[in-house]
Amino acid sequence: MVSKAFWFLNPPYSLLTFGIFLLFLAAIYTYTGKAWIRFHGWVNRVEEPKRYWLEVATYYLLGVGLIGLFLYKVHAFQN
């Protein structure tokens, strides 16, 4: 069991934590113009724009999706 100091790692709060982390990471990648692609390395927005924007969009969509899933799990069945 995770201690109370790490409440943000317990389900469903882990979904919220990871979703916010992905949105933050996507914002940093958008600002810097470089994105880290798994098993490939860094991709520059100028050199490979299609691959870069696909990766950044994936981070944004996963972040929003995880936050939406968190909200669904926490607030959907409280009526």
Nearest alpha-carbon partner for 16 in 73, 55, 70, 62? 70
- Measure the CA–CA gap between 71 and 37, rounded to whole angstroms: 28
What pLDDT shows up at residue 66?
95
Of 3, 5, 7, 8, nearest in space to 18 by CA: 8
Question: Looking at residue 6, what is its pLDDT?
Answer: 66
Question: Would you state the pLDDT for residue 5?
Answer: 63
Residue stretches of the chain with pLDDT short of 70: 1-9, 78-79
**Residue 2 confidence (pLDDT):** 52
Task: Give residue 42's pLDDT.
Answer: 93
For residue 55, the model assigns a pLDDT of: 93
Q: Report pLDDT for 39.
A: 85
